[in-house]
Amino acid sequence: STVQTLVDRAPEGAHEKATAAIRSVAGVIDIERLRVRMVGATTFIDTIAKVPRTYPIDRVEDIKRNAQTAVTKAFGDADLTFAAVPVARDNETVRDRIMVIARNSGLAIHHVTVHDLGAKLIVSIDLEVDGGMQLDAAHDVANTLERNIQVEFGDDVEVDVHIEPLEPELPFGVDATPERVRTIAAALTEYAADGEIHDIHNVRVRNTDAGEIVNFHCRATPSMSVIKVHEHVDAVERALRRAFPSVKRVISHAEPPRA
């Protein structure tokens, strides 16, 4: 044991044991390099592991913590140095790959839609930029994103980027008057009366610098698909915005009926 410590050698089977422990952690795709050594009673493990590049930083940190737990369970007193290498998986979707492209450029995108026309991909994206940015600068950002997507998927991919102002992180707002809340709630109930959405409740209205923000809950048939629920709720939201131009945004939450 003393000789092994002096020559920086791990006990027999320790490498395989550590490899198995780290491979068992959800999110670890493969191990690129692993080294095990003993210093006294402590097992020191250094590893470079491959993780999905689509994972956010906090999820990668969870993988690291779970790997430490796994080697501690396997060896007792163990100290793990874990380096994560993001790699592409075979099952990545087109949307996954586009989100990675945007994240690597530090861009905020959402509502990514992809249509496959056989030999051609059609991609539509909502890109959020600083509302005070000049149009020519914002257009340059959008063009760069489009070019990066074409590099990934080929020049024949058709990309349309819708530019919109980035929502402030903490917009100032105050609760609307109870009378205004009742008015909005009554309108929502009216617009939902002839559809599959019912029991409009928990209606909240806030006044912000950008306009009114409306939140509400509603109920729908439990067996209805998410797509159908979204279509019906979206119709109610559009009707509200048409009737009340001051409403900037509507956020709904659909629930199944009470048991």
- Please tell me whether residues 209 and 249 are part of one structural domain: yes
Q: Which of 87, 122, 150 is the last residue of a domain?
A: 87
Where does the pLDDT of residue 59 fall: very low under 50, low under 70, confident under 90, or very high at 90 and above? very high
User: According to the model, what pLDDT value does residue 171 have?
Assistant: 66
User: According to the model, what pLDDT value does residue 38 have?
Assistant: 86
Q: Which of 1, 2, 36, 30 is nearest to 16 (CA)?
A: 36
Match 């490899």 to its residue by tokens: 19
Return phi, psi of residue 234, to 5°. Answer: -60, -35
Q: What is the C-alpha separation between 42 and 79, in angstroms, rounded?
A: 7
Q: Which two tokens stand for residue 185?
A: 């709630």
Domain containing 136: what range? 94-165
Q: Which of 165, 183, 201 is the last residue of a domain?
A: 165
- Please tell me whether residues 121 and 73 are part of one structural domain: no
Over range 190-219, report the average pLDDT.
Answer: 91
- Please tell me whether residues 161 and 114 are part of one structural domain: yes
Q: Which of 64, 87, 110 is the last residue of a domain?
A: 87
Which of 195-199, 211-215, 250-254 is least confident?
Answer: 195-199
- Please tell me whether residues 220 and 202 are part of one structural domain: yes
User: According to the model, what pLDDT value does residue 2 have?
Assistant: 55
Where does the pLDDT of residue 253 fall: very low under 50, low under 70, confident under 90, or very high at 90 and above? very high
Q: What CATH number is given to the structural domain containing 240? A: 3.30.70.1350
Whole-number average pLDDT of the chain: 90
User: According to the model, what pLDDT value does residue 170 have?
Assistant: 61
Asked whether the predicted pLDDT for residue 187 surpasses 80, the reply is: yes
pLDDT in tens, 9-50: 667 889 999 999 999 999 999 999 999 998 888 899 999 999
- Please tell me whether residues 220 and 154 are part of one structural domain: no
Cα 10 to chain center, whole Å? 41
- Please tell me whether residues 106 and 52 are part of one structural domain: no
The domain total for the chain is 3
- Please tell me whether residues 83 and 24 are part of one structural domain: yes
Asked whether the predicted pLDDT for residue 5 surpasses 90, the reply is: no
Give the angle subtended at the CA of 89 by the CAs of 107 and 34, to the nearest 5°: 105
